[in-house]
Amino acid sequence: MKQISDKYLTAPVDPSAPTVTSLQRALDAANNRIAAYEKSNEEHQRLQAVYEDTLTEATERIRNYVYQQNDYITSIHKHYTHLLQEARGETVQAQQIHQDWQRSLSKLNEELRRAVQAREDEKNPFTRKVSALKEENRVLRGLAGWEPAEEDSSDEEEEVEIVTAAENRGRGIRDRERVVGNAMGQQSGK
């Protein structure tokens, strides 16, 4: 072998030059940092996966909740719309019933008016006849030379009795005779 010169062996050592041990320490420190970074990276990837799973699950739950709420609100709207339609139908039906009642009451009113008018028409001929008989009585008294008959409340009561339709049937003639007889009897009694 060749001899190495001293020149190379005694070369000056640079104090700032790294040594094997310092390089080994730096390499170990770098490896430790790489291992820590890899561990941190794995932890971050695991957290990101958990975050993405949680976000997906939360989004799905929120979507389901919103869908259920929309269905619920839609069903409430349908229910209340149905109730409003029923109420409108009942209102229309009540108005129709009211109009039918008004129509029926109007017809009843008209029939009652006709009945009252017929009753008045029944009453009027007897009232006219009583008035005619009183006039005839007055004329006959005048011809006979008697004093005119005084009108008293008993004549008016008898006239009211004559006018009543239930009493008029079958008794009209007797009542007239009684009125005339009473009037004549009062005059002759004087």
Radius of gyration (Cα) for the chain, nearest Å?
Answer: 64
Out of 91-95, 96-100, 119-123, least confident range: 119-123
The model carries a pTM of: 0.37
* Contact (Cβ atoms closer than 8 angstroms) between residue 182 and residue 158: yes
Q: What is d(CA 44, CA 41) in angstroms, rounded to the nearest whole number?
A: 5
More confident residue, 60 or 16: 60
CA distances from 128 to 42, 114, 141 (A): 126, 21, 20
pLDDT tens across 101-140, in order? 999 999 999 999 999 988 887 777 677 778 888 888 988 8
* Rounded (10°) angle between helices 20-144 and 153-163: 120
- Nearest partner of 175 among 185, 161, 189, 186, judged by Cα: 161
Q: Where are the domains of the chain?
A: 23-189
pLDDT tens across 133-158, in order? 888 898 888 888 888 777 755 555 55
More confident residue, 104 or 168: 104
Name residue 75's amino acid.
Answer: S
pLDDT at 87 over 60: yes
- Nearest partner of 126 among 152, 156, 162, 155, judged by Cα: 162
CA angle 11, 14, 18 (to 5 degrees): 120
Res. 37 pLDDT band, cuts 50 70 90: very high
